[in-house]
Amino acid sequence: MKAVKSTERLAWILSALLVLVLHVDWHLAMSALPLYSSPAVDEALHWQWAQDLASGLGSPELPYFRAPLYPWWLGMLHREGLGLAGLRWAGTLSSLATLALLVALIHRSHGRKAALAALLLGGGCATWIHYEAQLLLEHTVLLWLVVASVALWGSVHKKAGWREGLFGLSLGLAAITRPNALVLAPLALLLLWRQAEGWRGWGKRALWWVAGWLPPLALVATLNGWPGSGVLVASQGGVNLWIGTHGGADGWSATLPEVGPAWERADATGLAARELGHHPDPGEESAFYTRRALDWAFSHPGQLAGQLVWKAALLLAPQESGNNTNPLSLSKQRGWMHLLLPWSWWLLLLPGLTGLMLGFPKPTLLRRWILGALLLYAASFLPFFMAGRFRIPLLGLLALPAATWLGDLWQSRRLRMENGATPGRGRKVALGLLLMLPLAAGIWVASRLDGDHQRRQEGWQAFQLGNAWLRLDEGDSARARFQEALTLAPGLRELRLNLGLLDMPSHPARAESLFLAEIQVDGRSAKAWNNLGSLWLHQGQAQRAVEAFGEALRLRPDLPDAAWNLGLALATRGLEEVRLGHWDSARASLNAIKATPYRGRGLVALQQLLKEQGLSSP
């Protein structure tokens, strides 16, 4: 017996060390990339949140955004002295804390063998490890959901009290970190009903649950102006719904149809402002894009159904994709990550689903709750585009049935060795292995439906890395990445713009050809016209610059750089006319400035130029 306990203790120690080494090693691998210190897309936004809040600047939009809790958490940590690297380490520690809670829950409910399986499955899950060093949200959600489960476990037939309150608080905080956690509310009420003895007992438990759940949601709803804004928790949900539900949605890409994949938050706001005729508040903007997505969905039910089926296949497929980074491309930083990442989702999905189908884990109520949570949570993000990190909250839910099934597999093997016969549990395990084969075959077929996607994703990743090097003023490294992206994904929007910007100082002709090529790829690229105008203005072609900036503003009236540049180009053209003594033409240029909404900026630019030349306005 002592030898068995000693062996088991050694297995726990070695497993824990292995998990810790994998998590730390991947964090160190990420720190060698330019994206670590120069974040992009969602990460860049979250880092800006932390800086603004830590500096006391804040922003009127922060309480309304899609994750109201998350920016304040980042800002608080940053104010305490944690820089960007510190916030990333905080994410890693949060992930490990989540894993520890999950293992504790399974140890309490299903014993040591299942808990050890959970440690290895969860701690060695490359999907889980890959995202934890990034400034994203999923591990925070998972942490609260697991805390809720631990708080609730064991409260059956006990008086209503703090456990239900903590359960409700956990769900409320999870919802204002990722709003689709709200889909678990009906299941939570059902779980409370099954634990209660009649309506009276359920009512007390539900009141405690609501007492914990309501305060965080009420606070955020008040900040959102709900019901006036129509937004209970998050404002960007409408934008995200539109990028995932339109005629050109492919399920993979976070593409704003009118702009392309390389869009920013201001692009979405500007498009809504143009249609509405005024600058919308966050709730109004979300409602605008929600209506647009629903109008398309009701007008194209067949295409919508096909999109949802395709996204469900992508959800089950082993590939990891993301709009923030391309996981498989980054995974090349470590051989073990590159080997594990394409399969780690399956290592939890297959035994997890098998365990649920075969009746593990016990009791039946917990199994039904997990299955319902999996289905509802997955359905909550199917209308949007698919990204690998969206699956992370599902990993904790899958880990419980997966670990308990593997624990039963080990237990049946031991009993067979001791008794020389396969008990009933062993037959269930064998049936589970048979069930996994057709399931794995179906998922494998789904994963091969889009053969070109990986190449496009690697092109997007090279583009992002190039942008990161550009922000760090490493022009040569940025150019190399942009050229790689051009080879992998020549249709990628805005790629040529960045290459052209690098070429403008030394190779203006090549820069011009790149900007014109971008217009061929994307005929609505206001940024390309703006860059062309800047190039021509620098070359002294003021008239061509005026025309280019005018075209940019026709395409994007809200583009601030083009507004300033148009005023500057008109002022430059006017100054040239002054120098030549063409007073009528000069006055026409000045009147053109005054007739635009940007007259103040243009006049300031002109006055500055006139002052430098010692000339006065005609």
- HEC assignment per residue over 18-85: HHHHHHHHHHHHHHCCHHHHCCCHHHHHHHHHHHHHHCCCCCCCHHHCCCCHHHHHHHHHHHCCCCHH
Q: What are phi and psi of 396, to 5 degrees?
A: -65, -40
175 touches 134 (CB < 8 A): no
Q: Cα dihedral sign for 79, 83, 84, 88?
A: negative
What pLDDT, in 10s, does the model give residues 102-115? 898 888 877 888 88
* DSSP 8-state code for residue 280: P
pLDDT attached to residue 296? 95
With beta carbons less than 8 A apart as the criterion, state whether 192 and 205 touch: yes
**Given this model, what pLDDT does residue 435 score?**
64
pLDDT (tens digit per residue) in 406-431: 877 776 665 555 555 545 555 665 66
- Let me know if 331 is exposed, middle or buried by CB neighbors in 10 A (0-12, 13-18, 19+): buried
pLDDT, residue 523, reads 77
As a three-state string, the secondary structure of 345-389 is: HHHHHHHHHHHHHCCCCCCHHHHHHHHHHHHHHHHHHCCCCCCHH
Q: Note the pLDDT tens digit of each residue in 2-16.
A: 665 778 888 899 999
> Does residue 180 surpass a pLDDT of 90?
no
Position 304 scores a pLDDT of 92
Q: Residue 612: its pLDDT value, please?
A: 60
First to last CA, the chain: 101
Among the listed ranges 82-86, 289-293, 597-601, which one has the minimum average pLDDT value? 597-601
Q: Which domains does the chain have, with CATH numbers?
A: 2-231+316-447 (no CATH), 474-613 (1.25.40.10)
Average pLDDT of the residues in 261-268: 74
Question: What is the average per-residue pLDDT within 254-266?
Answer: 75
Strands in 497-543 per DSSP E: none
**pLDDT for the residue 391:** 86
Token pair 């916030």 is at which residue? 87
**The tokens of 449 are what?**
């439906």
Structure confidence by residue, pLDDT tens digits, 337-366: 988 888 888 888 888 888 887 766 666 667
332's CB contacts (< 8 A; 6+ apart) are: 338
Q: Over the stretch 23-71, which tens digit does the pLDDT of each residue have?
A: 999 999 999 888 898 888 788 888 888 888 888 876 655 555 667 778 8
Cα distances from 333 to residues 21, 29, 435, in angstroms, run: 15, 6, 35
Average pLDDT along the chain:
79
Three-state SS string over 101-155 comes to: HHHHHHHHHHHHHHHHHHHHHHHCCHHHHHHHCCCCCHHHHHHHHHHHHHHHCCC
β partners of residue 256: 260
Token pair in block for residue 562: 């083009």
Query: Tell me, what's the pLDDT at 618?
Result: 45
Give per-residue pLDDT as tens, 484-536: 888 888 877 778 888 888 888 888 888 888 889 888 887 778 888 998 888 89
Does the pTM exceed 0.85? no
The string of DSSP letters for 403-471 reads HHHHHHHHHHHHHHHHHSS--HHHHHHHHHHHHHHHHHHHHHHHHTS-TTHHHHHHHHHHHHHHHHHHH
pLDDT at 299: 95
- Which amino acid, residue 408? D
Share above pLDDT 70 across residues of the chain, in percent, rounded to a whole number? 79
Would the pLDDT of 577 be above 70? no
- pLDDT at position 17 is 95
**Residue 24 confidence (pLDDT):** 94
pLDDT of residue 450: 55
